[in-house]
Amino acid sequence: MPNHADAPPGLPLGGIRVADFSRVLAGPLATMVLADLGADVIKIERPETGDDTRGWGPPFLGADAAYFLSLNRNKRSVVLDLSADEGRAAARRLALSSDVVVENFRPGLMERFGLDHATLSAERPEIVSCSLTAFGDGEDGAARPGYDIIVQAMSGLMSFTGHPGGEPTKVGVALLDVICGLYAASAIQAALIGRRESGRGSRVTVSLFDASVAALVNQSANYLVGGIVPRPMGNQHPNIVPYQLFEASDRPFILAAGNDRLFERTCAVIGRPELARDDRFATNQDRVRNREVLIETLAEAFATRSAGEWLAELASATVPCAPVRRLDEVFEAPEGRRTLQEVDDPARGSLRLVADPIRVDGITPPIRRPPPRLGEHTEEVLAELED
């Protein structure tokens, strides 16, 4: 495939074209990672409405919701009606001109459109396909809805998120969709590396449910190894003490004393060095077993002074700690401002977005294109297919 003019030298995926049939979050996040790394991502959208997230507001900037803007930079938008012969024919030409095809339709729909991996790879063996599904592409998973909150419930995550005695609680962002999208981006790049040796592409699949259970890491292992069914613990950690939120006299803060040395320093900061020598608290195992009495003792101490005072002293003692920030405070802080990129959008004006966290030789991948308007590049891309 040719190098695309909008991919600056040095980005590792320059020259890779991606036909992106996905929508909402997990798929578009995966393809945005590829686009940020230099791929030419063509976002195929349905007529009139496009990706659902264009309407998931307020807030809106122009015709598009902030939700859509957060997931679709560095892409080109093409409107195709896949229910019509002409639209399917154009989609097939686009797919066959691409290195990668990404989709998150319900199982069986790509086959109906003639865009499934078996059909495409028969004509272009080197093509890589990625399917993101809710519960896998077997018949038992095909009919189940794949919204993030559904999988937060079904994967077990909600059962131990929240406070003791409270209702099961979802995470405050669609985190499982994000995790699934990152797994998909990783799998696609692995498949591209693999075809260098074999000359053939492959079909990779990522199930939102499977990715979500994999993301439970130590909680899953606690059950599988120790038979421990996790319960809500608020801001406490099941395996480390003290590693949680404490209330100072004015506002909450986080303390993360992840080993015995850090606990000893914490005890010195609060003026209770004897706690580190107490047999009930000498090791992390001891502290986990005697969690309640230790946390009560620490909470009484931390309530006597402001969060700023405690954070300064704990940081001076090199004990990991942090204020609990609101999002406005995040983007006002130096490290928060560093995560922002600004792009001049001719249709919407200046636009601030959160930058890709990946650094390539120390450089943040640039925003080459603002998130596209619906169908903005249809004529441009279709003309390329005729060349």
* Predicted local confidence at residue 378, as pLDDT: 97
Position 168 in a domain? yes
168 and 32 share one domain: yes
The model's pTM: 0.92
69 and 115 share one domain: yes
Percentage of the chain exceeding pLDDT 90:
92
28 and 62 share one domain: yes
Domain of residue 319 covers 243-331
40 is catalytic: no
Position 231 in a domain? no
Position 281 in a domain? yes
380 and 314 share one domain: no
**Mean pLDDT throughout 180-188?**
98
**Mean pLDDT throughout 78-99?**
97
Position 9 in a domain? no
H helices, E strands: number in the chain: 17, 13
286 and 195 share one domain: no
Tokens 């990404």 sit on residue? 102
Residue 156 · residue 229 · CB < 8 Å: no
Percentage of the chain exceeding pLDDT 70:
96
**How far apart are alpha carbons 81 and 90 in whole angstroms?**
9
Mean of per-residue pLDDT scores for the chain: 94
264-294 pLDDT, tens per residue? 999 999 999 999 999 999 999 999 999 999 9
Q: In the numeric block, which tokens belong to residue 385? A: 């297919």
Position 379 in a domain? yes
Q: Is the pLDDT of residue 6 over 70?
A: no
248 and 377 share one domain: no
Q: What confidence category does residue 141 fall into, taking pLDDT thresholds of 50, 70 and 90?
A: low
Q: How many structural domains compose the chain?
A: 2
What are the two backbone dihedrals, phi and then psi, of residue 203, each rounded to the nearest 5 degrees?
-105, 120
* Predicted local confidence at residue 80, as pLDDT: 98
194 and 319 share one domain: no
178 and 61 share one domain: yes
Position 207 in a domain? yes
* Predicted local confidence at residue 143, as pLDDT: 60
**How far apart are alpha carbons 216 and 233 in whole angstroms?**
15
Position 5 in a domain? no
The catalytic position among 36, 64, 148, 177 is 177
247-259 pLDDT, tens per residue? 999 999 999 999 9
* Predicted local confidence at residue 278, as pLDDT: 97
Q: CATH number, domain at 285?
A: 3.30.1540.10
91 and 26 share one domain: yes
Q: In the numeric block, which tokens belong to residue 257? A: 């004393």
Position 208 in a domain? yes
